[in-house]
Amino acid sequence: MGSEWTEERFGSLVRFISDKSQAKDASIDTYISTENMMVDFGGIAPASALPLTGSVTKFKVGDTLFSNIRTYFKKVWHARFDGCCSNDVLVFRPVNKGALAQDYLHQICRWEKFTELSIRTSKGAKMPRGDKGALADFKFRLPPIDEQRAIAHILGTLDDRIELNRRQNETLEAMAQALFKAWFVDFEPVRAKMSGRWQRGQSLPGMPAHLYDLFPERLVASELGEIPEGWRYSTIGEEVTVCGGSTPSTKESDFWEGGQHCWATPKDLSALRFPVLLDTNRKITDAGLAKISSGLLPVGTVLLSSRAPIGYLAIAEVPTAINQGFIAMKCDGALPNVFVLPWCRESMDAIVGNANGSTFQEISKSNFRPLRIVVPSDPVLTSFTRSAGSLYRQLAENERESRSLAQLRDTLLPKLISGELRVPDVERILGET
């Protein structure tokens, strides 16, 4: 490591921002709390609520926000706008930006040595909070400002690509869900034809001209209300194979050690930003797999968490076994997974409404199978599958790329910040790949 690197103390270079504002003055569009910060440095989600009373901490663009509750969740965000945050979120800002670059400070806060210190020194059993004094005393070696910026640029470029994929996936998922709702919940193409708003040769949003003749001319009465002529109501249990899973004994090491098969729990889905399961936290062996009656579910299976809570969803992009916290839907009939997944989202109130349980709600397979589902004509289903399938394929590909980029970033970060790798070394590696 070059002699130009200097030994520094975190608290000497970083301000712990304490500028306050009244909670009533905060905007939900720019409010950050531990609840809407994503785990594993996953950014933020929109806030669902504001505090009703008390104060909040003000932050500015470029600040680093660090969730100080249960810091093992690794919720860290580089502010892209001015706003306010809850008092359980620490706001870091360089004392002197000429000595410590803002972007580099953000990378320090994601460094495993920093997060491990926060975990190790946290206080409290139920809701452990990071010790600000311990964080202030964190020691690290600091490169010159130009090298800081170069390191932050390399890591930030990877972050930017991941963020671009995230925004694109939000759009892709919203488009697929909106298309499903318009066609199969609101029956918008049929209603548009009935009212004269959609004429042959004319294109409307979500209804290109070449699809005009695929849709019926009218709605007809059924036992469950009006439905497009020629379509039918069925049950989800008649259209897909519904199955569950189990947990092989965790006391039997033969079921787990050296496991090579994915084994999913609802926790795996809770960590997903988008409904694509690429891997699982735990793996099981052949012996463990033999203890699960549903076996290894194929790629394309739709997974729905059936309890604690009900409603996590994903399409399995890898063969996986599951525990008892799921309803799995093997789409081996007419309805594809890109139809079944948005149907689950649109039907979530009915799914939850058919759950039982006093300690926690659970939807059983027997209560799930009778839920009603509309089955369109084959030409309409084929057209939807083509459109939605393209959207979900791109979404899955973006998630794979983001996962690879995150792994590369997480490999490079500690090596760059510690000085084990220098910027020219990394630029050469990235150029070769």
CA distance 197 to 195: 6
pLDDT tens column, 210-247: 999 999 999 999 888 899 999 999 999 999 999 999 99
pLDDT band at 1 (very low <50, low <70, confident <90, very high): very low
What pLDDT was estimated at residue 427? 86
pLDDT band at 3 (very low <50, low <70, confident <90, very high): low
SS3 144: coil
Pick the CATH number of 144-230+377-432 from 3.30.450.20, 1.10.287.1120, 2.130.10.10, 2.60.40.420: 1.10.287.1120
Weakest-pLDDT range from 42-51, 336-345, 374-383:
42-51
CATH topology of domain 6-142: Adenine-n6-DNA-methyltransferase TaqI; Chain A, domain 2 (3.90.220)
Mean pLDDT of all residues belonging to the chain: 95
What pLDDT was estimated at residue 136? 97
Numbered ranges of CATH 3.90.220.20 in the chain: 6-142, 235-375
**In terms of C-beta distances under 8 Å and separation of at least 24 residues, what long-range contacts does 223-227 make, across chains too?**
224/372, 226/187, 227/187, 227/374
Mean pLDDT (whole number) for 298-325: 97
CATH class held by domain 235-375: alpha beta
CA distance 199 to 201: 6
Q: In the numeric block, which tokens belong to residue 224?
A: 């469950």
Mean pLDDT (whole number) for 128-148: 96
Which secondary-structure segment (H or E) carries 329? strand 326-330
Which pTM was predicted? Answer: 0.88
What pLDDT was estimated at residue 431? 74
Which secondary-structure segment (H or E) carries 268? helix 266-270
Does residue 122 register a pLDDT over 70? Answer: yes
Give which of 154, 64, 66 is closest to 412, Cα–Cα.
154
Give which of 14, 108, 27, 199 is closest to 416, Cα–Cα.
108
